[in-house]
Amino acid sequence: MQQNDFFTGRATARAIFGPFLLAAALALGLAGCATAPTAQQAPPAQVDGARLGKVVGWLKADVAANRFPGAVVLVMQDGKVLLHEAVGWADKDRGVAMATNSIHPIASSTKLVTTVAALRLFEENRLKVMAPIATYLPELANLRVARRDPAGNPTSELVAAARQPTVHDLMTHRAGFTYFFFPKNPLRDRYRELGIDRIDADDAPEMMRKLATLPLAFEPGSSFEYSIATDLLGHIIERVTGKPLDKALGELVLEPLKMRDTSFQVSGAALPRLARPFANDPDKWVFDWLDVSKPPRRFSGGAGLASTASDYARLLQMMLNEGELEGTRLLSPATVRWAMSDQIGSTRGVAHPGDGYAWNLFNPVRTQAGGPVFPGSVGDIFWGGITGPRYFMDPRQRLVGVLFLLRPSERAAVHAEFRAMVYGAMK
C-alpha cells in the first residue's frame, strides 16, 4: 500500500465545496448541477487501507485465472494516492511484467481529453458549442437522414434533416452518427465497408468525404447513439487551431497537465512499456484497429490515444478540482460544473449507460443513487474504452479510480467489481 501527496493542487475539498463557492453556485443558478453539494452533506467517507488493499489480491487471482494478462490500478482520495499497483503481465508472450508506468491503448478514454481541449476553445470563444458542425467541417453540410416507416424502421428513402447537427450534439452523441461495431444494420455495414472509423485507412478529409455520402442514423437531437462524434470534434479542433490534433491536444491539455506518457503513437524508448493483449484474445481485432505502435493516418479524438494510469489520473484530478491542477488552471469551475451536468435528460438510445445515469459533455454522469449495478454518488462520472481501461471520478467522495487492463470482453464486469471493492473499503 502507498499513501502520499499526489496532485493535491490548490483546489482542496474545502476550497471546492466550501460555503463561498456554494453561495456563488446558487447565485449563478448552478445549484442543480450534479456536482453541487448541499449543506446537509457529510464529509467524504474515509477509506480503510487494508480493505482497499484487497483489490490487489482480487486482480492477482484474475490474472492467475487468465481473465486478463495484467492490470494497473490507481485509487486516490482528495489528491492522495491510496493504492497504485501493477499486477500480472504487460506482455505475457515475452515475459514482460506489468509496471505502474506501463502504457495502454485507452480507446474511448481519449474522448475526455478531446472534450477538455474543446471546452478550452469554447471558453476563449474560438469554438461555438451551438454552431452547426458544418461551420467548421463544411464537408458535412446538408446531411440527410433516412425516412422511417410507421413502425419506426429506417427506409431507403433519404430526406433532408430537420436541422443540422451541432457541436453540442457531437459532445452528447445526439448528432446521428454511429460506430461500425454495434449490432449490424445497413448504415453500420456501410461504415464498415468504407472504413469510416478506421485510423489506418484514410486521412481526415477523405474520411469526412465518405461520411458525407451516408445518412444520419436519426434526426439530430432526437436520440442517443454512442459514435464517432468525438472524432469529428477532434477534427473541428484541428480546424479551429490550425494544428494537427496531436499538437493541439498537447498544447491545450497534455502539456499543462504534465501527461508526458500520453500520445497517439508509442515509439522509441517508450515502446517496450506498451502493454499487449493475449495473443489469442478473440477481440484481437480491436487492438489491430487501434494499433498505437504505428503512426495513424488520422488522429482519432474519440479513440486514438495511449496513456498510463498515473497520467490519466492527473486528468481526472483536474476535473475533480473543477478545472485546476497544481496551480495550473485549464477550465473555470463554472465550465466544469456545466460540462459535468446532465445534458440529455430522458433521451435514450444505443450504448446509453443505463438506469441511474445520463450523459454530460463527455461521459456518463450519475443522476440517482439507485439503478446502476455498482455503488457511487449522485454526480459521479465513469467511462473507459473498448480495449479494456475503466475509470471513475466521484466529487462527493473526492475519489478518483483508474483501472487499466487489456481484455475487451471483461471490461464492464471488471469495472463493476472494482467499484464494489473500492466503495466497500469505505468506513
- 3-class secondary structure per residue, the chain: CCCEECCCCCCCHHHHHCHHHHHHHHHCCCCCCCCCCCCCCCCCCCECHHHHCHHHHHHHHHHHCCCCCEEEEEEEECCEEEEEEEEEEEECCCCEECCCCCEEECHHHHHHHHHHHHHHHHHCCCCCCCCEHHHCCHHHCCCEEEEECCCCCEEEEEEECCCCCEHHHHHCCCCCCCCCCCCCCHHHHHHHHHCCCCCCCCCHHHHHHHHCCCCECCCCCCCEECCCHHHHHHHHHHHHHCCCHHHHHHHHHHCCCCCCCCECCCCHHHHHHECCCCCCCCCHHHHHHCCCCCCCCCCCCCCCCEECHHHHHHHHHHHHCCCEECCEECCCHHHHHHHCCCCCCCCCEECCCCCCEEECCCCEEECCCCCCCCCCCCCCEEEECCCCCEEEEECCCCEEEEEEECCHHHHHHHHHHHHHHHHHCEC
Average pLDDT over residues 162-187: 94
Angle subtended by helix axes 54-64 and 411-424, to nearest 10: 150
% of the chain with per-residue pLDDT over 70: 90
Cross-strand partners of 349: 224
Rounded average pLDDT over 307-330: 99
For residue 6, the model assigns a pLDDT of 34
When pLDDT is averaged across residues 49-64 and rounded to a whole number, the result is 97
Lowest-confidence range among 27-36, 335-344, 359-368?
Answer: 27-36
pLDDT band of 415, cuts 50, 70, 90: very high
Q: Is 258 exposed, middle or buried (0-12, 13-18, 19+ CB in 10 A)?
A: middle
CA-wise closest residue to 387 among 241, 287, 288, 310:
287
Q: Which of 247, 175, 274 is nearest to 217 (CA)?
A: 175
- Averaged over 120-130, what is the pLDDT? 98
**Which single residue is written with the C-alpha cell 448528432?**
175
Q: Is the dihedral of CA 205, 210, 213, 216 positive or negative?
A: negative
- Copy the grid coordinates of residue 320: 475533480
Which one, of 256, 211, 255, 251, lies nearest residue 231 by Cα?
A: 211
Q: Whole-angstrom Cα distance, residue 357 to residue 378? A: 9
Q: Which residue has the higher pLDDT, 289 or 98?
A: 98
Q: How much of the chain exceeds pLDDT 90, in percent?
A: 79
Looking at per-residue confidence, does 351 or 272 come out higher? Answer: 272
CA distance 132 to 343: 17
Answering whether pTM is above 0.75, one says yes
How much is the pLDDT for 241?
99
The β-bridge partners of 158 are: 146
Q: Could you give the CA distance from residue 182 to residue 189 in angstroms, rounded to a whole number?
A: 10
What band does 17 get if pLDDT is binned at 50, 70 and 90?
very low
Question: 41 falls in which pLDDT band (50, 70, 90)?
Answer: low
The CA-CA-CA angle for residues 56, 395, 52, to 5°, reads 15
- Residue 42: pLDDT band (50, 70, 90) is confident
Backbone φ and ψ of 388, nearest 5°: 135, -25
Residue 153 pLDDT class (50, 70, 90 cuts): low
Orientation of helix 204-211 relative to helix 229-241, angle to 10°: 130
Domains of the chain: 4-104+263-335+364-424 (3.40.710.10)
pLDDT tops 60 at residue 357: yes
Report the mean per-residue pLDDT for the chain: 89
User: Which tens digits make up the pLDDT trace of 266-313?
Assistant: 999 999 999 999 999 999 999 999 999 999 999 999 999 999 999 999
Rounded Cα–Cα distance for residues 199 and 290 (Å):
7
Mean pLDDT, rounded, for 181-207: 89
Amino acid at position 359, single letter? W
Confidence at 11, pLDDT banded by 50, 70, 90:
very low
What's the Rg (C-alpha) of the chain?
A: 21
Those residues whose C-beta lies under 8 Å from the C-beta of residue 336, and which sit 6 or more positions away, are 35, 319, 322, 323
